[in-house]
Every structure is written in C-alpha cells, then in structure tokens.
Amino acid sequence: MPGTAMHEDGDGPFGALQRQSEDRWRDALTAAQILAVAGPDIGGLWLTARASGIRDHFLDHLCTLNQPRRATRLPPGTTATALCGHLDIARSTAAGRIVWDSGILAAADAGILFIPMAERLDPGAAAMIAEAMDTGTCPRLRPNANEARHPSRVTIVALDEASAPEEMIPSCLSDRLGLHIQLDGVMLKTIKAVVLNTAPAPVTDWRSVRLDDGMMEQLCAISSATGHMSVRVLHHVSKVTRIHAALGGRVVAEAQDAVAALRLCLGVRLTQTQPSADQAPPPPEPAAARDAQSQPPPGDAGESEGNGTPQDLDSLTELLAAVEQGAVDGLTLTVGERAARQGSRTGKGGATARNVRRGRPFGSSSTPPFPDARPDLVETLRAAAPWQRLRTRLMAAQTGAAPPALLIRKEDFRYRRRKHQQASTAIFVVDASGSTALERLGETKGAIEQLLASCYVRRDEVSLIAFRGKAAEILMQPTRSLVAAKRKLAALPGGGPTPLASGLERGLEMALAARRRGSTPVVVVMTDGSGNIALDGTADRALAGRQTETIARLYRAQGLKSICIDIARRPRDSVTNLAGLLGADLHLLRQANAAHMSEIVRASMHRGPPV
Amino acid sequence: MPKPFPFSAIVGQEDMKKALLLAAVEPLLGGVLVMGDRGTGKSTAVRALAELLPKIETRTNCRYNCQPNDPQPACTRCQAAGAEKPALVKIRTPMVDLPLGATEDRVCGSLDIEKALVAGERAFEPGLLAAANRGFLYIDEVNLLEDHLVDLLLDAAASGVNVVEREGLSIRHAARFVLVGSGNPEEGDLRPQLLDRFGLSVEVRTIMDLKQRIEVIRRRDAYETDPEAFVASWAKRDTAIRSRVVAARKIMRQVAVPDAILFRLSQLCMRLGIDGMRGELTLMRAGRASAALDGRLEVNWTDIEEVAPMVLCHRLRRDPMDEAGTAPRIERALAALDAGHGHA
C-alpha cells in the first residue's frame, strides 16, 4: 500500500497528503475489524468525518464486518423518552389499553447504534446512552419494581461532524467510546486502491492475550502524558492492544500492538521525527522528516510489513519521549479541554425565552404557546382521563348512543411548552502587550477574575482572548467553569508588541460563533489602543491601523454589542476612535475597579444588542 | 443484569468510600456529593454500595418500599387487609439512577393514565422518589441537572417526605433516601445554595500512581472477563464491610459524644466562619457514624478530624479564585485548634 504512492510523488506536500490519507484509511479499516471483534466491550467508535461517500462506504463496510449485529440509526433530535420507552399510541388504541414501547436502546440490544450528528446530541439523551453502556441495561423511565430492565448491550458509533471547535460530542459519551477514527482527508484514490477484506476476523479469544506490566506501564505513561487522565480511556487502550494482538494471531501483546492501539484510541502519532542523533537506522524516516503533518510512527512501519524488527522493541519508549517533547499529532489530545467547553454549553443558562418553538420541554399548558402548536398527546389524555366515566354516562343519558372509547373535549387539549436558553457570552479581548502589560495586566487580571465569579453566579459564559507578540491567542473558549478559567488566567503572560487587529479578528469570530449557538455575545475590548502589528505578524503600524479599522467596522455591521475599556493611564484618542468604529460604549478605567467593570458588563449583557 | 463491580475491589479513593459508608450508616447525614474527573469510579462505587448493603424487607411488588409492619397510607397494596396483603420479600437496597433528562412527573410521580383511562379513577403512579425510598438516589452530573429538579430532590431528601399536589392528586409518601450526586467541576459548578445542602462532599481525583492505575485496569479486566468468579473472589471482603455497616447501624444511637468534643467542634466551625448550625450538626453525626463504623461507643477527636474535610469543605465561604481549594483551610484550622487547646 505505501509503495503505490511512493514512486509517483515521492515526497512534497501531495505525497504527504496521500500518505496521511492511506494511514487514516488503514487505521479506519483496522478499527472496524476491532469493533467487530470486541463490540460493546470497548464501548464503540467515535468517527470524526463529515457526511460523504467515503464515510458511507466505511459505514457499509463496518456493518458487513459486524454482520450478526443489527444496525440502528438514531433519529436526529432523539429525546430521552424515545430512547428509553414511551407510550405506543398505535398499539394502545388497537389494544384498548396502555402499551409502552420499549424504546430505541432496548430495541438496539446486541446491535450497533449509529448516532448521526453526535455533536448535536442532547445532553440528556447522551447521559441515557452512557448509562446503558455502563450497566448493559436500558434505563427505565417508569420506575416499576416488578419489571426487569431490558438488556441493552449496544455498540455505539458516534458520527461526529463537528466543524467549529466549540461543537463537540458530549463528553460523557466520548469518554466511553474506545476507538476514535478520523476520515477527513481520506482520498477516493486511496479507497479504490485498497481491496476491502470483508471476511470475518479469525475467531480468537482476545481476553486470553497477555499484556505484561512493563508495556502496561508504558501505555499508562503515554496516555497520561497526552492528557488522558481517565482510567476508562486507559482501559480501552489496553483492551484494543490485546485485540490488535489477537487479530495478528499473537498470544502476547507486542509493542506494535500498543502503538497501534494508541493511534486508534487516542490518535497519538508522531508528527516529526526525533532529533537526528537518535534517528540513525530506519530508512523511510529521512524522506518523511520534512513533513509537518501526520507521519507513521516507527512501529507502524513494522506493523505494515508484518515483521518484528528490532526498532519495534523501543518504539513505545520513543513514542513516549516524543509525547513528552510535544512532537505528536493527537486527534483527541484535548479531550479534557473539550469536555470543559462542552459542559459549559449544557445545563443552565442565564435568561430563558419561554413559549418558543424549540428548546427543552418544561411543562404543559392548556393554551397553545404559539399559533400552530401541536397538542401533547400524553398530557391531553392525562387531562381527559379522569372525566371519561362521567362523560360516557352523560353522553349515554343525553343521546342514548353508544359512546366511543374515548371522549376528548376541547378543554382537554394540552400543549407542550418549551423554554430555550439565551445565555450571554462575555468575550474579553485583552491587551497583554508591553505597553499595557507592565502597568495594568495584573489589575486587569484581577478584575476579570472578579467578573468571572459574578458571571458564574449569573450563569453567563466567559471567554478570554489575549493579544501580545505576533498574534492573538484564544486563552479560553466560552466557559462557565471557574476551575478552567482560573488556570488559564494565572498562566497569562504579558509583554511584546500589540497585535490589536488580530485580537479584534479573533473576538469577532468567537462572537459570531456564540451567536450561531443561540447565545448573545458581548465583546469587551480592553486596550490602550496602540496596535502596531498587522494580521500577518509584520510590524507595520500603518497597515495594522487600516486592518484594525476594517475589522472594527465589521463589528458594527454585524450589530455586535461591544464595550471598549481604555486601560491606558491617560485617555488616548486612539481608543476613542476605536470605540467609535466598533460602535462600542467607551469607558475609561483609571484603576481596574473590578466592581465597576463588572457592573458595566452586566448592564450591557442584559440590555441586548444595540439598536 | 450482571452483578456490579464489588465495593471492596475499588482501588484507592478512600475518601469517597468512607463518605459513602458513613451515609449508609447514618442516612440523616443528608447525602453525599462526589465531585471529580471522569473515569474515577464514582458511579462504580455507588452501584457497588447498593449491592453490598444488607437487603431490606418489604412486600412483593410494593411500589413505595414500605416497611412490612408500617405500611404507608399511600400504598394501596400494603394497606390491603388480612389475607390480601402481599407476601413478605427481601429486596436489594434500592439504587435508583436519575437520568439527566428526567422530568418533574417522573421524579415525584403523577397521575396513572392507564388506570385513569380504563377505570376512570384517579390513581397515583409513584415516581423515582418512591422507588428510592429506603435506598439510594444517584444523580450523575448533578451540576448539569435543571435547578428546579435539584431543589425538589434536596427538599425531599432533607424532609424524607414527598408531597405531590397536582392534577387533583394529593399524596404524601415517605421518601427517605440517601442522595448521592456526582459531577465534574470542569463542566460547571453547583450553585452555592445547593452545595451546603449536601451533608458530605468529597473530591475524587484520577489516580496518578502508576502501579495503582495498572491495578485498576487489571481488576476491571478480570471483572469483565468473568464477572461471577470475580465477584465471588471478593465476596469475603464485601461481607466484612457489610457486617461492619450492619453493626454500626445497630450501635449508632448509643454512641456518645462527649461535651469536650462538641465544644471543640463548635470552636472549629466558628473559627472557619461557617454560617448556621447545619455544619456542626452534620459534623457531630458524621463523627458518630465514623465511631460506630469502628465499633466504638464514644466519639474521639480523631473521628472529627477525619470527617471534618468532607463535612466542611463545601460549606466554607468560597473565594472563587482560591488556587488551593478549601481543604487546606480546614487543615490549618484544625492545627490551630490543636495548638490553642494545648495552651488552654
């Protein structure tokens, strides 16, 4: 397989892409095989790929491999009731008594459950699926002591189509899915070149494969070093290592299995080779050394050639060293950070809009919340139920006709009311450059901390962008977590020139992303206004000024609410001009008075966008 | 359903295990909050605990887990007279999972539609609170649960009664359960008002010790390979813990708290600036449970020192940006108290 690309393109950008494509596809196929062997024992597969022919092709292959298991597709927008059982209207009316459907999770028992658009999955539904994965039984919506829980041993395949970094599959799910595969970047050419092996994997008992303590320690060290602290993740890695060995017909797991498992579970792979000193023998390395992106780790070479070369022995040690140097490209490296972000999106919001068309149901009402609302059948039945006997008697007395099975009147109709969170997101764009840093950064940090604490009480989200040196950096995605924010703030350094344009650009992107999520962004720009670095990182004050103007106008054009806080010792015209361009409220802050600043931001958040 | 992972086989996390056992001994403590990273065995421990505890006696198909000799007015089955009374049965300590998407209906109970439609009578369909009576109610990700539900749960947990006034129903039934909440602080905190209604709070961290981590994986793997055999091999140790809990429950009410200890724990709470009496009360109860677990009939200061962080940690007025957390403050206060006591 690797040979086909080599002679054509050798190296260069296209060659690298092609190799990456081949690696990913090969990994995906291995993952499919492992999933077929282990099934629910490793939770499932987290597939990062946009909807495409390639993804469909892979999923078809996956289904073929998993033959006896039935594939079920979760409908988008699935609710907790649909997952765990609900009133079966058709059968209830036919039978004349209440019949409850067992729900998707019970129906998918011993099968594969595909979750399309997993990044949009409702946290409640995700929690239900996670519980089913943990206990092997379907969570019960109706507590009933005399009814055994339905078994639900499902293998989950979560199709993650996230594009923006703040869209993530619920972390309670991603933590439980053993395998993580990425299909983006796989080329059609690669797929055509590889003949799919649909023969079922040789039946081996992977549980009898031995994994010695030394290797286990290394796996443990590598997964910790890559930021995967969860023991659950480590357990998945160890299982995948053994399954990989079993597929290769080995009874003792070898280093190549471990390397493959780390790649398949955590996406840990080398991005660049080691310093040339300890990089003497392996022949394929020098050509690839120039590649910035994905590059098969040494163990991978051993694997594809199917022999245990000496380099195999210390490939794990090498990988660990690379991880510690930060020279790996990890697909799921930032699971922890993502989890923090994900969590902050769910749960409680600040202001909520009631009687809206979408959102979480929170009750029912006898009047339709909006004109074309659909009645809630169960609630309607519930309202009508106590009157049935009376009504049938009344009807029999009045008309003498045999009453129908159910008498529902207009006043019985109930409508589901939904509420929708309209959280506010405060985006701080903070000048950490030398001109302000030395004097004010400490004060500003303190003020932001105070503000964060009050935002937390109000359940608003806060994010932080700092600009210094060559460009702006997103220090914190919108979060409500004090723990995460506190760490990021403490680590914020100061000094260097002022890339104001870049800061504003990042702030704009984040504000628009927040708005897409249905939140109301407020951008708080804290600067002394003297931008001197252009977007491309060059020290061109004139260009930087023009770019700043252009971006600032975009804020106004987008109708974003913004606040400009002048943190220079003496008021400067530059900040006043900037505020004018942004359409921002201008505030001067002689001393970073936290209470005052918090009040300003709070007032802006609750006034909504400017008119 | 396979047997859960044995309680005694959980590696490390001593604080969490201790807090859960204390709550099992003394249900009046008011619930346990377990905050910590993912994959640290929070849910495993809670599920294991329910399996470990002695079985409770009730009647077959009772939806409220009534005590056989003290049936609740709401329970129509156990209220039946004479020969119609259902047979006695021993069931596992109830352990109810509250899913995130739960509605108020399901938690408190609601009108039974089936009975209403078929028989035209207003019957009550008990909810999760009834199912959790005399057992545990476990909420994973309590920090993500809707606020009004958390209020409702804490209220029921504190009062031991569930009151339903809706849809023309007026029902009260016992809901004495130990509330166990867990969550990940990185995903957002719990409201401070809710925090101090939990009796005990422990923080769990991922085990960082290499040997222990490996041991976790090995045991988990052995469990998954052959659950029955694994559970059997730990049964002895689980039984030992169970008999400790049973013995502790028996002597619990006889454990004495000397005045000197009460005096000092009040001093401790004052020194830490804890509002209200709930902290002291819980501290005393937890100390008593801890002594009972050890099989002693008198509380000593070591008991208090041991449980003080769990009881007081989440009651301290929090500085949101305090880097070190609240545990060191309690340790400092304890140390200061010891020094002061020596002088006096």
Q: What is the DSSP string of B174-185?
A: E---EEEEEE-G
Q: Mind spelling out the 3-state secondary structure of A204-270?
A: CCHHHCECCHHHHHHHHHHHHHCCCCCHHHHHHHHHHHHHHHHHCCCCECCHHHHHHHHHHHHCEEE
Chain A residues close to B99, C-beta within 8 Å = 80, 84, 124, 127-128, 131, 139
Say which of A145, A149, A347 has its CB closest to residue B143: A347
Q: Is the Cβ of B146 closer than 8 Å to some Cβ of chain A?
A: yes
Question: Is the Cβ pair A143, B220 closer than 8 Å?
Answer: no
Question: Is the Cβ pair A230, B111 closer than 8 Å?
Answer: no
In order of A519, A552, B225, the CA distances from A508 in angstroms are 14, 9, 53
Q: Is the Cβ of B213 closer than 8 Å to some Cβ of chain A?
A: yes
Query: What angle (nearest 5°) sits at the alpha carbon of residue A513, between those of residues A512 and A515?
Result: 65
pLDDT at residue A312 in the model:
45
C-alpha to C-alpha distance for A311 and A123, rounded to whole angstroms: 45
Q: What is the mean pLDDT of residues B317-328?
A: 57
Chain A contacts in chain B segment 10-69 (CB below 8 A):
37-41, 43, 47, 60-63
Question: Is the Cβ pair A388, B116 closer than 8 Å?
Answer: yes
Question: Is the Cβ pair B116, A141 closer than 8 Å?
Answer: no
C-alpha to C-alpha distance for A504 and A611, rounded to whole angstroms: 21
Query: What burial letters (b/e) apply to A185-207, b meaning 16+ CB within 10 Å?
Result: bbbeebbeeeeeeeeebeebebb
CB B264, CB B304: distance < 8 Å: yes
Chain A residues close to B96, C-beta within 8 Å = 143
Q: pLDDT averaged over chain B? A: 82
Amino acid at A341: R
* Helix, strand, coil percentages, rounded to 5, for chain A: 50, 15, 35
Q: A198: which residues sit within 8 A by CB, 6+ positions away? A: A61, A64, A65
Q: Cα-flanking dihedrals φ and ψ of residue A236, to 5°?
A: -60, -45
pLDDT at residue A420 in the model:
60
Question: Is the Cβ pair B113, A98 closer than 8 Å?
Answer: yes
Chain A to chain B, count of Cβ pairs less than 8 Å apart? Answer: 191
Question: Is the Cβ pair A127, B101 closer than 8 Å?
Answer: yes
Question: Is the Cβ pair A382, B111 closer than 8 Å?
Answer: yes
Q: Which residues pair with A431 in a beta bridge?
A: A467
Structure tokens at A254: 């070898």
By CA distance, what is A462's nearest residue in B?
B188
Q: Is the Cβ of B87 closer than 8 Å to some Cβ of chain A?
A: no
Q: A155: which residues sit within 8 A by CB, 6+ positions away? A: A35, A39, A40, A43, A44, A45, A66, A69, A111, A112, A113
pLDDT for B285 beyond 50: yes
pLDDT at residue B240 in the model:
92
CB A169, CB A119: distance < 8 Å: yes
H helix count then E strand count, chain A? 25, 16
Question: Is the Cβ pair A235, B217 closer than 8 Å?
Answer: yes
Q: Is B276 left (phi over 0), alpha (psi -120 to 50) or beta?
A: left
Chain A residues close to B103, C-beta within 8 Å = 361
Q: Which residues pair with A366 in a beta bridge?
A: none
CB A462, CB A424: distance < 8 Å: no
Q: Which residues of B are marked as active site?
A: 278
Chain B residues close to A238, C-beta within 8 Å = 217, 221
Q: Is the Cβ of B105 closer than 8 Å to some Cβ of chain A?
A: no
Say which of B184, B207, B216 has its CB closest to residue A343: B184
pLDDT for B289 beyond 90: yes
Q: pTM (2 decimals)?
A: 0.68
Q: Distance from B27 to chain A by nearest Cα, in Å?
A: 22
Question: Is the Cβ pair B140, A131 closer than 8 Å?
Answer: yes
Helix boundaries (H) for chain B: 14-25, 42-52, 76-79, 104-108, 113-118, 128-131, 147-159, 192-195, 210-225, 227-251, 259-272, 278-293, 301-312, 327-343
Share of chain B above pLDDT 70, in %: 89
pLDDT at residue A286 in the model:
35
pLDDT averaged over 10-residue windows placed end to end, chain A, 611 residues: 44 78 86 85 86 87 83 79 73 72 82 86 79 78 59 86 69 84 83 72 74 84 77 87 87 85 77 38 35 37 35 62 57 37 33 56 73 73 82 81 75 76 77 68 72 66 83 80 72 79 88 79 82 80 85 82 78 81 76 66 57 34
pLDDT at residue A294 in the model:
37
Chain B residues close to A124, C-beta within 8 Å = 99-101
Highest-pLDDT range among A139-143, A284-288, B34-38, B236-240: B236-240
Q: What is the mean pLDDT of residues B212-232?
A: 88
Say which of A146, A347, A381 has its CB closest to residue B113: A381
| Three-state DSSP state, A541 | helix
**Which DSSP string corresponds to A364-401?**
EESS-SSTTPPB-HHHHHHHHGGGHHHHHHHHHHHH-S
Chain B residues close to A364, C-beta within 8 Å = none
Q: Mind spelling out the 3-state secondary structure of A321-342?
A: HHHHHCCEEECCCCHHHHHHHH
Q: A154: which residues sit within 8 A by CB, 6+ positions away? A: A40, A44, A105, A108, A109, A110, A111, A112, A113, A129, A132, A133
Q: Is the Cβ of B81 closer than 8 Å to some Cβ of chain A?
A: no
pLDDT at residue A559 in the model:
78
pLDDT for B111 beyond 70: yes
Structure tokens at A99: 């019949």
By CA distance, what is A387's nearest residue in B?
B120
| Three-state DSSP state, B36 | strand
C-alpha to C-alpha distance for A173 and B181, rounded to whole angstroms: 19
Q: How many CB atoms lie within 10 A of CB A545?
A: 18
Question: Is the Cβ pair A453, B320 closer than 8 Å?
Answer: yes
Query: For residue A135, how many C-alpha atoms fall within 13 Å in the half-sphere facing its CB?
Result: 22
Q: Distance from B312 to chain A by nearest Cα, in Å?
A: 20
In order of A149, A276, B111, B133, B307, the CA distances from B165 in angstroms are 29, 76, 11, 19, 38
Q: Distance from B147 to chain A by nearest Cα, in Å?
A: 8
CB A143, CB B127: distance < 8 Å: yes
Structure tokens at A135: 């206990």
Question: Is the Cβ pair B125, A142 closer than 8 Å?
Answer: yes
Q: What is the mean pLDDT of residues B130-135?
A: 86
Say which of B38, B113, B221 has its CB closest to residue A230: B38
Q: Is the Cβ of B90 closer than 8 Å to some Cβ of chain A?
A: no
CB A189, CB A8: distance < 8 Å: no
Question: Is the Cβ pair B206, A149 closer than 8 Å?
Answer: no
CB B292, CB B251: distance < 8 Å: yes
DSSP state of B126: E
Q: Is the Cβ of B209 closer than 8 Å to some Cβ of chain A?
A: no
Helix boundaries (H) for A385-538: 388-399, 434-436, 442-458, 482-490, 500-516
C-alpha to C-alpha distance for A141 and B99, rounded to whole angstroms: 9
By CA distance, what is B187's nearest residue in A?
A343
In order of A242, A355, B108, B146, B243, the CA distances from A361 in angstroms are 45, 10, 17, 12, 46
Q: Distance from A449 to chain B by nearest Cα, in Å?
A: 7
Structure tokens at B236: 């002895």
Say which of A139, A348, A381 has its CB closest to residue B99: A139
pLDDT at residue B291 in the model:
93
Q: Distance from B25 to chain A by nearest Cα, in Å?
A: 24
Rg (CA), chain A: 29
C-alpha to C-alpha distance for B48 and B2, rounded to whole angstroms: 12
Rg (CA), chain B: 21
Question: Is the Cβ pair B188, A481 closer than 8 Å?
Answer: yes
Say which of A41, A141, A340 has its CB closest to residue B106: A141
pLDDT at residue B172 in the model:
86
> When comparing pLDDT for A83 and B100, which is higher?
A83
> When comparing pLDDT for A346 and B99, which is higher?
B99
By CA distance, what is A146's nearest residue in B?
B61
Q: Is the Cβ of B92 closer than 8 Å to some Cβ of chain A?
A: no
Chain A residues close to B123, C-beta within 8 Å = none
Question: Is the Cβ pair A220, B2 closer than 8 Å?
Answer: no
Q: Distance from B295 to chain A by nearest Cα, in Å?
A: 34
DSSP state of A39: G
Which helix H or strand E contains A565, and what residues bound it?
strand A561-566
